[in-house]
Amino acid sequence: SRSAAGASLLIIYLAIRRRRRLSSSFLPTQSFGAKHEGLLRDARLDKLLVITDFDATLTTGDSTQCHDLVGFSDLLAAQFREGFAPLLDWQTNPLTDGVQWWDTAHALMVKYGQPPRSLIPRMVRQSSMVPRPGALKLLHRLALLNVPVLIVSAGLSDVIEEFLRQHDALTENITVCSNRLNYGADLAPQSVAPDPPITSFTKASAYRAARSFFKHHAARRSLLVLGDSITDIDAATEVPYDHLISVGFPNSRGPEATAKYAESYDALVLGDHGSLAAVDELVDDVMAAELSASEHITRLSKLKRQPSTGAFGVDRQ
């Protein structure tokens, strides 16, 4: 039938795309093969859920990150920037390796009332925050397929949502779990939620922080988890699942760091500008496997409906 032929052609097309992935910046690790096969044995788009970091994952590895955008912006008060500057001194600041960094950063935002809500669109527009190649296409595709996406970030929800909005990517299937500025009537931040904040060291708290999201999508137990830090995979630690494939983005980190990523993630995307096309093709794989299974079931159903015949072609019914 036309529908069966169309499904077969789509499966072939998706297989070709999958082969192209092998020559890209996508690097499967030892755990990938078995997990990939397991995912496809139970492949269904209505079971799929994506958990992803934002900074240096959905954006390029050399993009401005959320808190950097706030701290470096010359649109904000000079007194605030002077107070914030030590936090951006990654070489000598003793707070860079602990949760206290976020507490201090957010306290400064509240103290100086920065950034005003009205300036965030302009700050994002003028920043060097760039979508990773393939990111917008992937997000658009997931929206069309109604696949829920949870962005778990140690950055700022207000900046992330504005970035997505400016790229026509803030769709209904996306939920942002990050640090949100709570604004007062004067459009200055009065507090930051949650408290304690979401940091690169506390990603495991995402399951509790986004409990309503996970409750609503409890039936989706096939996870794709994306992140540029070793700890980003922790966002799925407490999430019940049947299948999980994690993709790490070492960006411009050296060979030694990349080797550590290979121990933590099922696959890697290499380079600051490594494409998310490979993740898009994992979605293709799920679609192809689901179509193939559906086509097989259709054929079996048709065979069952056909009358059985004897050795001489006589209908036994």
Token pair listed for 170: 């803030």
For residues 52 and 169, the answer to whether their CB atoms sit within 8 Å is no
Q: Which helix (H) or strand (E) holds 60?
A: none
Least confident of 105-114, 235-244, 289-298: 289-298
User: 8-29, pLDDT tens digit by residue?
Assistant: 445 444 444 554 444 458 999 9
Answer yes or no: is pLDDT of 56 > 90. yes
What tens digit of pLDDT does each residue of 27-37 get?
999 999 999 99
Residues 6+ apart with CB under 8 A from 148: 49, 50, 173, 175, 213, 217, 220
Q: Give the side-chain half-sphere CA count within 13 A for 62.
A: 7
Phi and psi for 277 in degrees, rounded to 5? -55, -35
Rg of the chain on CA atoms, in Å: 23
Q: Kindly report, residue by residue over 63-101, the tens digit of the pLDDT.
A: 999 999 999 999 999 999 999 999 988 767 666 667 899
Q: How far apart are CA 234 and CA 225, in angstroms?
A: 9
